[in-house]
Amino acid sequence: MSGALSGIRVVDLSRILAGPMCAQILADHGADVIKIEPPTGDDTRTLGPPFNANGDAAYFSAINRGKQCITIDLAAPAGRDILYRLLDRADVLIENFLPGTLEKWGIASDGWLENRFPRLIHCSISGFGADGPLGGMPGYDAVLQAMCGIMSVNGEKASGPTRVGIPVVDHLTAYTALSGILMALHQRHVTGRGQFVEATLFDAALSLLVPHAANYFESGREPGLTGSAHPNISPYDRYRCGDGEVFLGIMNKPQFDKFCAVVSRPDLAANRDYATNASRIQHREALRAEIEGALADWTRAALCDRLMRVGVPVGPIHSVSEAFAQPHALHRGMTVERPGYRGVGLPIRLHQSPGSPGKNPSSFNADAARVLKDAGYSPEDVQQFLADGVILNRDTQTG
């Protein structure tokens, strides 16, 4: 497999979403990733239905392609010895244990990890970090959406504060961890040494509050629910048309004037109440009624085509299936489809060293023999590990 990260070796101890997604992106761009699961397996293997032919939930398949999978009981000394041998050859370690877990096993206490593996980049992903009032506490995406104000600005009066429908905090934390790892790899070229990289859901969630935090810091007014609208821009919202809904994103007066011309309402462009973005926000509800009246006879397809061609951003509100069926999604290669696997394509594109989707996600412990052989263990060693329960056969999985 080729890619910008070809030759980089990664040990992925993480579970659920943020860590595995970060590791999958590294794998898509050429890194050799070994995923080590606990004896119960990654929880996402069970988060279904739907399940694939291997019995793994689609959730797991979405964020674990391109990896070799092995299960190791790291609570056992022999299991930790296997980990150390793998880390001898690794560039990056990704884990999202509760802070203190590695220390409990004697792996990361008192600089031990840094001294034994000086070139290793150790990326820790957690809910809140290791210290502070919430240090070491568990955290999941939706909990952080609630705690960090995201739900308070998402939703409408009828719904009240609402969770964003995708695990947006986990997604951003994955990319935050990815960025930190890549920066640390770059710094290692200068210093010759790895370093500790920390990414927390708490920090990532707070960083999402743009522009809401800036608005609050400047005005002192608490941001509230705006539905699909933007607190600083109008019209920037969803609107009904003849056969469904579209999202209209108008950023400036030239775009507003073009929109008014296309929908045959030049009077709106000339109206003083709508002359500036600030005045359009002030008269947001009256403008909404005017816009939806003007769109009543338009189909989504015709409206979006006309407006986009004159430079007005607009899009139909698609379902998931409609989103992936778009001709442009096909053109961009955003669906990976091959025997035994269907997934989302690569969102990061390097034109000189393009990545490619890694191999189909492995079933539980499927690559144990190969990983251990590559690490220098004999078949007799592998059998002993199995006998001792340090690694598990697939048919003995307990999760």
> What is d(CA 35, CA 71) in angstroms, rounded to the nearest whole number?
8
Give the distance, in angstroms, between the CA of residue 239 and the centroid of all CA atoms in the same chain.
Answer: 28
For residues 17 and 42, the answer to whether their CB atoms sit within 8 Å is no
Give kind and range of the element (H or E) at residue 320.
Answer: helix 320-325
Which one of 28, 170, 243, 388 is the catalytic residue? 170
- Phi and psi at residue 129, to the nearest 5°: 90, 180
Six token digits for residue 379: 């078949």
Residues near 275 by beta carbon (within 8 Å), at least 6 away in sequence: 253
Closest of 179, 141, 145, 183 to residue 162, by C-alpha: 145
Q: Cβ-count burial of 341 within 10 angstroms (0-12 exposed, 13-18 middle, 19+ buried)?
A: middle
Q: Tell me which DSSP letter residue 55 carries.
A: S
Instruction: Using alpha carbons only, give the angle 46, 101, 196 rounded to the nearest 5 degrees.
Output: 105
Report how far residue 45's alpha carbon sits from residue 55's, in angstroms, rounded to the nearest whole number. Answer: 8
Q: Let me know if 170 is a catalytic residue.
A: yes
Give the 3-state secondary structure of residue 267: helix
Q: How far apart are CA 141 and CA 148, in angstroms?
A: 10
Give the catalytic positions in this structure. Answer: 170
